Amino acid sequence: MKSNKMFLVFAMLITGVLGIGLGVTYAWYAYDNAKTDVTGRTASENPTVIFSQTDEILYRNILPIYDDDRYNYAGKNSFSVTIGEKLKNYTSGVEISLGNIIISEELKNANFKYELLENNQVIASGDFSNIGNNKKMTLKPMSTLQLTEYPTTINYDLYIWLSENEDNQNNLMNKVFSAKVNVDSAVKK
């Protein structure tokens, strides 16, 4: 009787060890052979994003400036997106947004403005009057890049400023705005 119990315990132990071994082996096989397919294939390379300063925006002492002076005095974040030679046979897309937005209530008005330039051409502009409690704002929705040569570098400049409107704007000065510039890309065959 004692021998049968020992045999049963030994058989259960061996079965457990074999089960764990097979589970680990299958998990490793599945991990090692996993891939993501977007309409058939994906690229092993992504567009490269390089920020001239940082992807973080922080303005504490905002003073009004005239719209015509925005390129000289507005807060500016510059970055570039490079589509490499290995992506020549793929379709690439880019989306640009602001995330983790913290904005003083007073700046949620039509005089607190932004403008996004792509290779020195305005592709998005507006203000923060309708931001409400949103923590994200899309400046450039995901769109396919129309490229003719590779590698290609696309330069972006984001300007943010408080527009001078000749009214008393003392309640708008020295307020806080912070955000993170997000550049998301997608590549598919």
Please provide the average confidence, as pLDDT, over all residues in the chain. Answer: 84
Residue 28, sorted as left (phi over 0), alpha (psi -120 to 50) or beta, turns out to be alpha
Residue ranges in the chain whose pLDDT is less than 70 = 1-3, 7, 9-11, 13, 16-19, 21-44
Q: What pLDDT does 22 receive?
A: 60
For the chain, domain boundaries: 1-34, 48-188
- Sign of the four-CA dihedral 138, 140, 145, 149: negative
Which residues, at least 6 apart from 77, have a Cβ–Cβ distance to it below 8 Å? 51, 52, 53, 54, 55, 57, 157, 158, 181
Q: What pLDDT does 26 receive?
A: 58
Q: Tens digit of pLDDT for each residue in 34-51?
A: 544 444 444 557 788 999
Q: What pLDDT does 16 receive?
A: 64
What is the CATH class of 48-188?
mainly beta
Q: What pLDDT does 146 receive?
A: 82
How do beta strands 64-65 and 152-163 pair?
Answer: parallel
* Residue indicated by tokens 């020992």: 6
